[in-house]
Amino acid sequence: MTRTAIDPGFVAEQNAPLLPNLEADYAHLGAQLARRGVDIEMIAQRVAGFRVAIPSWGVGTGGTRFARFPSPAEPRDVFEKIEDCAVVHQLARSTPTISLHIPWDKPKDIGELSRFAEDFGLGFDAMNSNTFEDQPGQPHSYKFGSLTHTDRAVRRQAIEHNMECIEIGKALGSRALTVWIGDGGNFPGQQHFRRALDRYLDSLREIVRALPPGWRLFLEHKLYEPALYSTVLNEWGVSYWCASQLGPRVQCLVDLGHHAPNLNIEMVVARLIQFGKLGGFHFNDSKYGDDDLDSGSIKPLQLFLIFQELVDAELSGVPDFDPAYMLDQSHNVTDPIESLMSSAAEVARAYAQASLVDRAALERHQEENDPLMALRILKEAFQTDVSPILAMARHRARGAIDPVRAFRASDYRARKAKERPPAARKGAGIV
Ligand code: RM4
Ligand code: MN
Ligand code: MN
């Protein structure tokens, strides 16, 4: 029996009054889609199979470099984070895996952690290494870089940390390592651009050699921050070039907040698919930079256009197409559980909308150079309110028709506040 954080009977009770309207809305949407030649059950099935991983750091309250305002009942360790992830999955039904960040989530006993997650029916997604801050007692500092540091001893320490992440991940059943580094420069002249990238590749080569069979390694680029003038792995082209140098098991990871403003991200996605190097995503939304806001909250059209590329690759059978999907958000002013449940639904929404695109008609309009009609095809899919499909998929999987409403009614936070007195940590910081 899978352990649940909220009584399943309570979820069913919450659903009961909402069900008649949901059924009516679902039937109505089904009739509308049938007129367009789309079987609503086919879309519902696709949505039911859609999965996105939760970052362990997403269940804590985020913050800016100015302040952090922790909410009550924040998880204090990896076990409590897993409990919160279990709530997200129980109500939203599309997030069965967690992505750990080491050493934040380093367990004393890996077996215990693995069993704890399994009891809740949860597994582990990609592992994340952390060489962007120093840990107490660490021999060498990452102040001036990690995998690309000028000092071989610092690079060695960072390489070994990544190997340790792989070892922990192996024991937990993870199949990938995501490497994001904060290395770069704050001032012109501080760093020799070419030599730093050479050192990056040398370090990565060693980590790749330590990958167990069946594992992939994702390179996560970022335009700036924490380095404010230059970043070693600054954009997708550099990431692509490095991934090509490092062999077939290394792919690029696209975090939606890590690009220059106005970049056409859906096109980057299409290019990486074409080059066989799209490894995965960190979903979030932003207005100015790496804002880590909730997915789909600001640019839902962009999210849809990205999924239009992903679904197109899937349905046209691009070989070895298997991107790993994860949320990567910082919940500064919302309840993290509520944000994660809503964001998982927004990502699934974009997937469902993209699944509605009339691909044959789109191709015809492209061949005939009819931009107005081509756009109309995309807009028709994007403007379809697929909410009843998402809600029905959750209901059928014993999740909540309205996850936020059910969560608020459950009193989970108030219960946990008693068990989890506020942690001592009060400082600023992004996670
Ligand atoms: C970075 C990046 C990484 C995440 C850290 C916490 O900006 O997005 O994926 O591990 O933040
Ligand atoms: Mn990220
Ligand atoms: Mn980020």
Name the DSSP class of 141: -
SS3 254: strand
The whole-angstrom separation of Cα 373 and Cα 375 is 5
Give residue 422's pLDDT: 77
SS3 30: helix
Give residue 421's pLDDT: 83
Distances in Å between the alpha carbon of 22 and those of 14, 18, 392? 13, 6, 7
Q: Provide CB contacts within 8 A for 88, sequence distance 6+.
A: 54, 59, 95, 337, 340, 341, 344
Give residue 71's pLDDT: 87
* CA–centroid distance, residue 286 to ligand 3 (Å): 11
The label of the residue with tokens 């060498």 reads: 140
User: Residue 65 burial (CB < 10 Å; 0-12/13-18/19+)?
Assistant: exposed
* CA–centroid distance, residue 257 to ligand 3 (Å): 6
* CA–centroid distance, residue 388 to ligand 3 (Å): 32
Best CA proximity match to 401, nearest among 1, 16, 2: 16
Which residue ranges have their beta carbon within 6 Å of ligand 1? 101, 128, 180, 220, 222, 255, 282, 290, 328, 431
Per-residue pLDDT of the chain (431 residues; tens, 9 = 90+): 899 999 999 999 999 999 999 999 999 999 999 999 999 999 999 999 999 999 999 999 999 999 999 988 999 999 999 999 999 999 999 999 999 999 999 999 999 999 999 999 999 999 999 999 999 999 999 999 999 999 999 999 999 999 999 999 999 999 999 999 999 999 999 999 999 999 999 999 999 999 999 999 999 999 999 999 999 999 999 999 999 999 999 999 999 999 999 999 999 999 999 999 999 999 999 999 999 999 999 999 999 999 999 999 999 999 999 999 999 999 999 999 999 999 999 999 999 999 999 999 999 999 999 999 999 999 999 999 999 999 999 999 999 999 999 999 999 999 999 999 876 655 555 55
Q: Please tell me the pTM assigned to this model.
A: 0.97
